[in-house]
Structure 1
Amino acid sequence: MENRDGIVTERVSKKLTVATPSKELVDAYLSEIAKAYSVNWSPAPPPEISATDEPEGGGKTDTLDNSEQSLGGEAKLTSTLDGDKTPKLPDIPPTEEQTEAKKPIKPTTPPPTYPEDDFDALTRRFEALKKR
């Protein structure tokens, strides 16, 4: 968006700029997540650039070879094809929605009402007011 006629102050405009976080911050964040989930993870070491790696002319090349790039994770996947069985997980108790769905709905009947004398009802209400 454009700030036409300077309506939005420069201080606010600076806060609205989009910038990606630094590589160090991302690596620190990912390492904390890996630590919380007990995953062995370490950031990829920065690629070492030697004088022989640069193409002649000193410019950068636009092509990237994905096979040479490392993602930095050391997560290992194991296969269960070799006869290993996964451990038995504990049973999860049913949620409230599941238990409510299983229970049959019973029609509730109001308690039987007996005809009450007006004097008795008035006396009961008066006693309740006295207790307050």
Structure 2
Amino acid sequence: MIIFLLFDLPSDPKTLYEIALNELKNKNYKQAEKILKRIIYSFSPNEWTDKAQFYLALLYYEIKNYELAKIEAEFFVNNFKYSEFYPNGLILLAKIYYKLSPNPHKDISELNKAIEILNRVKSLYPNYN
């Protein structure tokens, strides 16, 4: 387990990104969250911003904070359409809507959003698995 204070972290986004992924892989979610947010908020937009944004949404999904996951995933999908992670971001957002659907037999609005997003992935990326 790697533990850094925020001021002890490296100052380049690529290294921070690699550390964040390692923390995420090791389920050190609080540390990964801090590092991902630092990449997003402490640097001008760069080649790591979209990746950090995607993984921040994924982190919240993994810890079952679906409301925060939804906010971060929607931000990613709306702002990083050209990211290599865009199809995965759409699928993540659909999974989040599914998880937020309280009871598919009573309220299907969130479930319908999930289906709509999956149909969008299918039309945009017909060969995506």
TM-score band by shorter chain is: under 0.3
Higher RCO by CA contacts (8 Å cutoff, separation 6 or greater): 1
TM-score under structure 2 length normalisation: 0.23
Greater gyration radius: 1
The answer to which structure has the higher helix fraction is 2
